[in-house]
Chains A and B, each alone.
Chain A
Amino acid sequence: MNNPGPMHRKYFRIFIPLLSLLSALCLGALVIALADRDPLMIFQKMFYATLGSSYGMGQVLFKMTTFIFVGLAVAIPFRLRLFNIGGEGQLLMGAFAAALTGAALPETIPSSVAIFLCTLAAMTAGACWALLAGVLKVQYGVNEVISTIMLNFIAQGITGYLLTCHFALPSTVHTTPVTAAATIPTFYKVAGWFTNSPANFSTIVALATALLCWFMMFHTRFGYEMRATGLQPDAARYGGINATVHTLTAMGTGGAAAGLGAANIILGYKHYYEAGATSGIGFTGIAVALLAGAHPLLLILSALFFGFLEYGGLTVNSMIPKEIFMIIEAATILLVISFTALGKRLL
């Protein structure tokens, strides 16, 4: 067995996701062909509808933004070997909290304060929901996969009940819109970019957050301890590292990131909470994080790719069912996992 040098490993880390992406696209093309459509034509149309139009690009950016946040919600705990399946529930709680806070604020409040308060509410709700799983883990050793899945259901139940019985406007399935001051301005409104698309200033926050997480993970003592704990928990204990603190911080930070994703959707686009507004997005976060190998910077690319698939799939919906793109997304993840395992055996 040859021992790969650090450089080899670096190339390998980039190469595997690329190879799996390419294979997934080929597989997608095959599925489209099987559905009796011309894959090249479909891909071309997707390409024009997304990168070819300023509205399409805005849509891709908007989706990418949410995906970066929900991807981080999975990626940060992943570094500690914690598998946060609860991005969905954390996003949901964050969305609900942002919408309710926004609706409760007076109209006269300054915009910056309103946005800050609503975002803080979303982050707190997301963080608390994730911390529940964290506390169960450190106190009672409850597996976080189980607890976060269950917390997803509970979040659905709570928001569903509160919406239908207390907060929904009569004969609708959404809450009172947030006060105008609490809406995050879109790029179109401020600068005229990305015609009419929901892309808003959350995108900049998302990029900054990913950068901050990368810095925290790889350039601080906190990140040094955190990665060590994830790699070798027994050694971390010997080294006097407090694993409990790291478990709680990672879960809390992950949940707060999901909350930021909720702010993007609610404050930047919908302006109210609607049943199903965040449905399924939290789960895509798992895919985004896995494809990026839980690396905060690669995660931006991975989120962009999923944003492209997600919105691109919508644009060709009339020709090919959206489900085809769900197949491509899921197949990409399976291929990444398989190729990584295979690559480790080969190298």
Chain B
Amino acid sequence: MLTPSERERLFETLRSLRSQGKTIILITHKLDEVLSVADTISVMRKGEIVGTVAASSVTKQELARMMVGRAVLTSVANPEASPGKTVLSLKSLGYRTRQGEVKLQNLTLQVRAGEIYGIAGVEGNGQSELLQILWALTSGEEIISGEAVVNGASIFGKKTADRVLMGIAYTPENRLRHAVITDYTVAENLLFGRHRERFFHRGAGFNNHVVNRYADELITDYDIRCGTPAKQPLSTLSGGNQQKVVLARELNRPAISLLILAQPTRGVDIGAIETIHKKIIAARDRGMAILLVSSELEEIVTLSTRIGCIYKGFIRHEFSQEEVSAKKMDEQEFQKEIGFHIT
């Protein structure tokens, strides 16, 4: 990922190459980028070119419509949040690998109920390590220091399954590797990680009737495009629909107080992004504390109540709720300012 200023420099280079008579093909899913730098735009959908237009004669909304095949909102409405008590509190968290490499140092932040705390940062600045700590996925060889408290209780020493019982839900960065079993059916995946919930049990197995009804509900609610959920393997779904399966499952967990979202819309088409963003804001309004880790500054700015800029393993700068609301008015300028804090 490039920060806004790095991106500007890249585009300057591309423009100068163009003026020297070079032909450049740029493949991207970012509408702003393609509109600002390209002359001619071809839109691909399902392996086909669905249209070719001049960049000067098209708007972002029109491009989005071509990509998805229906009208989409490129930015969802985000009413002001009213945060409550602190749910997650990290105090001077440190993470050192066995080789002595420092991944996190003195990282401190709080996430309150009913707010989305966005962590902006270039990948590799400690985000993955932070997520490992939060979901008990560390290998046990690292040295971890500091404090991590959820609803007043420390999460250290608790296994993943117990953290679920503490009211934590997590959608990981790499969903195909971590969040789903690709050979399992859609219904089985909607159950994955929640299969210990009594509600779904019957005897030694699952109550298929309950599971199917639950799957149908989520599929309708999240607009997951698939065939029969009890038969279709998850691997045959599009990236956006797979992500919706993961989000639907995690957001629907009973009694969650802390939701951790890592790159929730990575590799997802803009139609699905709209649905996912709406669901995240709705979850916030229901009073969940949400920790959002994303390398997409646009996503961070659109969704976050407060923003922490992570750099070399600590929060280098934090934007308060008031600052975020005010600066959001000029999104481009705000992204540039965040970019300054994360490089």
Contact = CB atoms under 8 A, between A and B. Distances in A.
- What is the predominant secondary structure among interface residues of chain A facing chain B? helix
Contacts of A239: 160, 192-193, 195
Given A3-B236, A240-B164, A221 B181 contact: no
10 contacts: A6-B232, A219-B205, A225-B195, A227-B181, A228-B192, A232-B181, A235-B180, A237-B160, A240-B160, A240-B161
Contacts of A232: 177, 180-182
A317 interface: no
Given A220-B204, A234-B178, 20 more contacts: A6-B232, A6-B233, A219-B205, A224-B206, A228-B181, A232-B182, A235-B178, A235-B181, A235-B192, A237-B137, A238-B135, A238-B160, A238-B170, A238-B172, A238-B179, A239-B192, A239-B195, A240-B163, A240-B196, A242-B161
Interface string B155-185: 0000111011000001010000111111110
A222 interface: yes
A221 B206 contact: yes
A6 B184 CA distance: 11
Interface in A1-15: 3, 6
A293 to B, nearest CB: 13
A231 interface: yes
Contacts, number: 62
Nearest to A225: B195
B188 A234 contact: no
B178 A238 contact: yes
A234 B137 CA distance: 9
B7 interface: no
Interface of A: 3, 6, 219-222, 224-225, 227-228, 231-232, 234-235, 237-240, 242
B29 interface: no
Contacts of B205: 219-221
A228 B159 CA distance: 18
B316 interface: no
Nearest to A222: B204
Contacts of A231: 181-184
Contacts of B193: 238-240
A78 to B, nearest CB: 15
Chain B CB within 10 Å — which of A220, A224, A227, A240 has the most? A240
B201 interface: yes
A219 B188 CA distance: 12
A239 B253 CA distance: 13
A51 B183 CA distance: 40
Contacts of A221: 195-196, 201, 204-206
Contacts of B180: 232, 235
Contacts of A240: 159-161, 163-164, 193, 196
B85 interface: no
A238 B137 contact: yes
B18 interface: no
B231 interface: yes
B156 to A, nearest CB: 16
Nearest to A9: B233
A243 to B, nearest CB: 12
A-B CB proximity, top 8 nearest: A240-B161, A240-B160, A239-B193, A220-B204, A238-B178, A228-B181, A219-B205, A220-B205
Contacts of A228: 181, 184, 192
A27 B194 CA distance: 50
A237 B177 CA distance: 11
Contacts of B236: 3
A227 B192 CA distance: 12
Interface string B138-170: 000000000000000000000111011000001
Contacts of A222: 204
B177 A235 contact: yes
A222 B206 CA distance: 10
A6 B196 CA distance: 27
Contacts of B179: 235, 238
A217 to B, nearest CB: 11
Contact of B231 (A6, A220, A224, A242): A6
A333 to B, nearest CB: 23
A231 B195 CA distance: 16
A1 to B, nearest CB: 11
Interface string B195-218: 110000100111000000000000
Contacts of B161: 240, 242
Interface string B215-254: 0000000000000000111001000000000000000000
B193 to A, nearest CB: 4
Contacts of B188: 224
Nearest to B188: A224
Nearest to B235: A3
Given A231-B181, A232-B177, A238-B135, A224 B160 contact: no
A220 B181 CA distance: 17
Q: Find the residue from B164, B170, B192 having the highest chain A CB count within 10 A.
A: B192
A52 to B, nearest CB: 43
Contacts of B232: 6
A219 B204 CA distance: 8
A240 B165 CA distance: 11
Contacts of B206: 221, 224
Contacts of A237: 137, 160
A89 B206 CA distance: 37
A229 to B, nearest CB: 9
B209 to A, nearest CB: 14
Contacts of A6: 231-233
